[in-house]
Homo-oligomer: A and B are copies of this chain.
């Protein structure tokens, strides 16, 4: 046997072992009959499979995190029954969209039992997230559990300590009950790795749930979780939220604690990763951010800015109490025109906000390509040394997320580059600083156009040029990555679903470029039917509370418009 053959056997053995252990971690009584492969939409499987009781369907059917927390606090629901219900539903989801990595029912139920005992004994909740099950992307270690991050070489790597995020979730009374899938190297807008395989979009299993936090988005879309934590370095929270009809929030990179997480490209700080929530409700997003900040995470994580939750900012005190906001709107970034349903989601949002008394100014794309180039150069600066250091067992690098692709074909934006010198990275950092300054000046200068006496209160733009795409068809995340390079917080709000009757494919005579034509050709109204569409709401660095406060205004306007439409 050659060394190569030994190696290959070795990594495949590691994977086989991990998969067997994952399978064994699922309680037998929670297995459901297999769903035929050609059942593409599985979003209703939890309701129809018969495994969940009526009460469990009621519990997991909730979307509003604050409501669920209220029922837990009043002991209307016990933590054990809520955790059990969500765990069962997560396992159901997993069986149809393959969204989980670590499954540890006993440990989670023990935490839940302790919380129930606490509430009974003290007559009060342990913390603001008392009894809430929270799912975690497979980058957030929990003491004594494996963290493979999708690498075969990491199978059997057990965490010695909780990540700071886990510590603070536990202190707040949350139950970090399950971990979720992500792509190999994390640096993908889809979710597939050699250890756990591919995660599917529950609205259409032939489509991707997005990535890299695609295990989260698939799970939460199926209500197998009500709130989860992902990470975002180029769109990895926002694209999955958009593809799966969820709220998602990428804070500025140093607002929520990151100490103790594992990551690709660890130590790359030019365009850093941010950790943040995905949820079925905006209240879930806000509650998570607030409950972490209230615990002074900077006392645990050296990279977290010591800025407490700013209630005045969230109430939009300096933004006219949110009564007459002025938004910037960017319909496209000038190189790739979004598909019709994306444009429609922006139009719906604009109309809803105008009906509520708010106004808009147009925002033209600003040096967008340079933002993308700086981010990409920063990510590829190591010449793949980081990836290679995790592929020591012979496990092959995944070059494409397309199931039918030649595994040796590498898409343009993934082609490895020669390593950069430290000096070259310094020059990139200078470029990034200039880009951020140009953006800031542009933002501030809008004060002359808004009529409010303030610069725009937030910017609205597409999340991606498309709704979810078939596996392997995701292009570079150009609509999201700019806000990583800028380090601006960005909130995803679900708006609508693709409707072939109105989102017809326009004829186009000319294109803005090759990428524009490729993306145009991807659109097929019938194939995309029913897929969710969101919008992106952006504000300046470290102004998380403002973005969330404005998010409430946008969300309320959209809900009011929906109600109006239903009445008409």
Contact = CB atoms under 8 A, between A and B. Distances in A.
Interface string A426-452: 111110010011011000100000000
Interface in A20-55: none
Interface string A370-408: 000000000001110110000000000000000000000
A231 to B, nearest CB: 16
A541 B254 CA distance: 12
A521 interface: no
Contact of A421 (B259, B301, B307, B422): B422
B302 A426 contact: no
A305 B541 CA distance: 8
Q: Among A302, A383, A439, which residue has the most Cβ atoms of chain B within 10 A?
A: A302
A383 B424 CA distance: 11
Nearest to A430: B267
B307 A382 contact: no
A307 B254 CA distance: 13
A149 to B, nearest CB: 16
A222 B301 CA distance: 43
Given A299-B440, A306-B540, A306-B542, A421 B419 contact: yes
Given A269-B429, A307-B305, A422 B382 contact: yes
Interface size bracket, A side: 35 or more
A203 to B, nearest CB: 38
B543 A423 contact: no
A9 interface: no
Nearest to A438: B302
A447 B298 CA distance: 16
A303 interface: yes
A288 to B, nearest CB: 21
A428 B267 contact: yes
Contacts of A266: 426, 430
Nearest to A419: B421
A268 B429 CA distance: 8
A361 interface: no
A382 B423 contact: yes
A460 to B, nearest CB: 21
A265 B426 contact: yes
Q: Which of A419, A425, A540 has the most CB of B within 10 A?
A: A425
B298 A541 contact: yes
Contact of A267 (B307, B385, B427): B427
A423 B303 contact: no
A420 interface: yes
Nearest to A302: B436
A181 interface: no
B259 A437 contact: yes
Contacts of A63: none
Contacts of A185: none
A423 B386 contact: yes
A342 to B, nearest CB: 28
Contacts of A268: 422, 426, 429
B383 A423 contact: yes
B440 A381 contact: no
A299 B318 CA distance: 14
Contact of A426 (B298, B382, B430, B440): B382
Interface string A255-271: 00001000001111110
Contacts of A270: 269
Contacts of A425: 267, 422, 425
Contact of A541 (B265, B306, B381, B385): B306
A262 to B, nearest CB: 11
B444 A303 contact: no
Nearest to A437: B302
A269 B385 CA distance: 21
A368 B420 CA distance: 30
Q: Which are the 8 A-B pairs with shortest beta-carbon distances? A: A267-B426, A302-B436, A381-B422, A382-B423, A267-B429, A267-B430, A385-B423, A420-B422
Given A259-B437, A303-B436, A383-B421, 15 more contacts: A265-B426, A266-B430, A267-B429, A267-B430, A305-B307, A306-B307, A306-B540, A306-B542, A307-B307, A382-B426, A385-B423, A419-B423, A421-B421, A421-B422, A422-B425
9 contacts: A267-B427, A267-B430, A302-B437, A305-B305, A306-B307, A306-B543, A307-B307, A307-B542, A382-B423
